[in-house]
Amino acid sequence: MTPKIVIEESANGLVDFFIPDDRPVCGADVNFFREHFNLTVDEARIILGIPTTEWYVMMNQPDMPIPNASVALLLRYFAACPEDIPTIPKADITGVAEALEGVAQRAWGLLLGREAASGHRWVTKSPDLGPSTRRLAYYLVKKLTKSPAGGLRWWRRHVVDMEASARGIEDLLGRGSWSGACEVASSQKKQRAIKKRVTGKKRS
């Protein structure tokens, strides 16, 4: 029978990430790894290479040895060499607010692929940007830190406006939303295809 997982404090009162050598790596160790290094579930899954279904199986069986021995060995390695745990790029709303100082809050969400109301919500209600937005925000902050004015122009031209145009959005800021744009772009593409076929028939 697998022993009950117990997380102990070290002599200085701090909890270290460690895995005892008298038992296999268990589901609780995976979750402890996530919590100890302040990772989201998605981030921990990416670092450890664990599919979603496998993750929740382990979370539902915290005292059982994890089935995937490769993950167990990876956790053993990270327990011994935590400096090798990869850093996942991410930014929070504080970093975004500092980088976009002087930019209308309405534009924050749109620059990050969200809605115009998102910026206000992040500041006043829920600061959680969400996994993919945190990744994107990291690169926006990085670009603007290097070049505040030029970086924002570059971001709009090569990232935001390019995709907005491809989705058939002419005025993203005025529209205030990315939602439904794919349907519009798809409809326009179909209309162009129909027009092309009709034109081709007339010429023949």
> What values do phi and psi take at 26, rounded to 5?
-120, 175
For residue 19, what are the domain limits?
Answer: 1-88
- If one compares 198 and 68, the residue with the highest pLDDT of the two is 68
- Of 69-78, 174-183, 188-197, least confident by mean pLDDT is 188-197
> pLDDT category, 87, cuts 50, 70, 90?
confident
| Residue where a domain terminates, one of 88, 106, 130 | 88
Domain annotation covers residue 202: no
pLDDT of 1 above 60: no
Chain Cα centroid distance, residue 139: 12
Residues 105 and 122 reside in one and the same domain: yes
Residues 80 and 104 reside in one and the same domain: no
| Residue where a domain terminates, one of 53, 70, 88 | 88
Please, what is the average pLDDT of the chain?
84
- Distance, in Å, from the CA atom of 41 to the CA atom of 52, rounded to the nearest integer, reads 9
Residues 119 and 78 reside in one and the same domain: no
Residues 61 and 131 reside in one and the same domain: no
Residues 117 and 36 reside in one and the same domain: no
Q: 3-class DSSP state for residue 26?
A: strand
Cβ contact 93:122 at 8 Å: yes
- Of 51-55, 57-61, 170-174, 187-191, least confident by mean pLDDT is 187-191
Instruction: Return the number of other C-beta atoms located less than 10 Å from residue 165's C-beta.
Output: 12
Residues 80 and 113 reside in one and the same domain: no
Domain annotation covers residue 112: yes
- If one compares 132 and 54, the residue with the highest pLDDT of the two is 54
- Distance, in Å, from the CA atom of 90 to the CA atom of 42, rounded to the nearest integer, reads 12
Residues 138 and 69 reside in one and the same domain: no
Which tokens go with 19?
């895995």
Residues 178 and 104 reside in one and the same domain: yes
Domain annotation covers residue 197: no
How many distinct structural domains can be found in the chain?
2
Residues 82 and 99 reside in one and the same domain: no
- Distance, in Å, from the CA atom of 73 to the CA atom of 105, rounded to the nearest integer, reads 46
Question: Secondary structure of 96-165 in the HEC alphabet?
Answer: HHHHCCCCCHHHHHHHCCCCCCHHHHHHHCCCCCCHHHHHHHHHHHHHHHHCHHHHHHHHHHHHHHHHHH
Single pTM value for the model: 0.68
Q: Max alpha carbon distance in the chain (Å)?
A: 87
- Distance, in Å, from the CA atom of 182 to the CA atom of 22, rounded to the nearest integer, reads 54
Residues 67 and 108 reside in one and the same domain: no
Cβ contact 129:112 at 8 Å: yes
Residues 81 and 162 reside in one and the same domain: no
Domain annotation covers residue 70: yes
Average pLDDT for 60-86: 93
Residues 158 and 84 reside in one and the same domain: no
